[in-house]
Copies of this chain bind each other. A is one copy, B any other.
Amino acid sequence: MKLEEKLQEISDLINERMDDLLPSISEGVKGERRIAEAMRYTAMSGGKRLRPFLVVASADLFGVSRSSSLQVAAAVEFLHAYSLIHDDLPSMDNDDMRRGQPSSHIKFDEATAILAGDALLTLVFEVISHPTTHSDAIVRSDLVQTIAQAGGTHGLIGGQMMDMLSEGQELPLPEISRLQRMKTGALFALSCELGAIMGKASRHCRNALRGFANDVGLAFQIADDLMDAEGLSSKAGKKTGKDALAGKATFVTALGIEKAKKQAQMLVEQAGKHLDVFDHRADVLREFASFVVNRQR
């Protein structure tokens, strides 16, 4: 099966599971229904489900049941959706569009968007800690711990704060790397690591997957920055050229377009090397790495 088909297949299964796990828009009082509607609006609004795919593909390496891996994959996508909603808020990146649709605070209002983000973040932990996610409570607890660390002050949230503080500043390349590792990298690495945890992988395999995901995460971010810089608005599904306007430090502003492209390709090769321990069983992850970088061309 070609990677695109595999991505589509897994994406369909993940969407189905997300739909099952999200609260219903027809139950409860008006407040609950409105939150459910806003949670669904962003979480189910498309997106390529790249992070959940990484969860499933990593878990597959260790023979984890699809039922478990889809549950964790759905939770990772809820985490991603929460961060999109909050990052788009007027006091943050002030993005009116997301995946080709009005952002949550435009479609609803700011209060609803903040609460829907909070609810998605909370749902992540409700899903992960549910006994159906994994029969071993030690694994469930480890999954919660790992997600909370990647999502917290030293991961996603710290990265977003740093991103905001860096607006209008010229950051040196190591700081841009660090920022992106905290933002995009944290979720990519998390996704692979969760697969390894579900599979009770050795420390060695877990680190190999982290190393792979860190490189892919950076490569993905560079590809995203390139899309923004080259103005491929329709592919990006959001306003482009915004980084430059906001004076945001990106790989592209620091390296220039050509060098950034080379850097992304170099990262994809480097990512693949981490997977040697899995030999051909990790081919789908290797293909994935080159897919995320070349997807817009």
Contacts and interface: CB of A to CB of B under 8 A. Distances in A.
Interface of A: 23, 28-32, 34-36, 39, 86, 89, 91-92, 109-112, 114-115, 117-119, 121-123, 125-126, 128-131, 136-138, 140-142, 144-145, 147-149, 151-154, 157-165, 175, 178-179, 182
A126 B109 CA distance: 30
A77 to B, nearest CB: 17
Contacts of A157: 35, 115, 118-119, 122
A31 B165 contact: yes
A152 B123 contact: yes
A115 B162 CA distance: 11
Nearest to A36: B153
B91 A109 contact: yes
B111 A92 contact: yes
A35 B89 CA distance: 17
Given A123-B148, A126-B145, A28 B114 contact: no
Most buried by B among A110, A129, A153, A158: A153
Task: Give this chain's copy count.
Answer: 2
A117 B128 CA distance: 21
Nearest to A158: B32
Given A121-B121, A141-B140, A114 B126 contact: no
Given A119-B152, A125-B144, A158 B29 contact: yes
A182 B151 CA distance: 26
A114 B56 CA distance: 31
A258 to B, nearest CB: 29
Nearest to A117: B118
B111 A162 contact: no
22 contacts: A29-B162, A29-B175, A30-B165, A31-B179, A32-B158, A32-B162, A39-B153, A91-B109, A91-B114, A92-B111, A114-B114, A115-B160, A118-B118, A119-B153, A123-B148, A123-B152, A125-B147, A126-B148, A129-B145, A130-B145, A136-B137, A141-B141
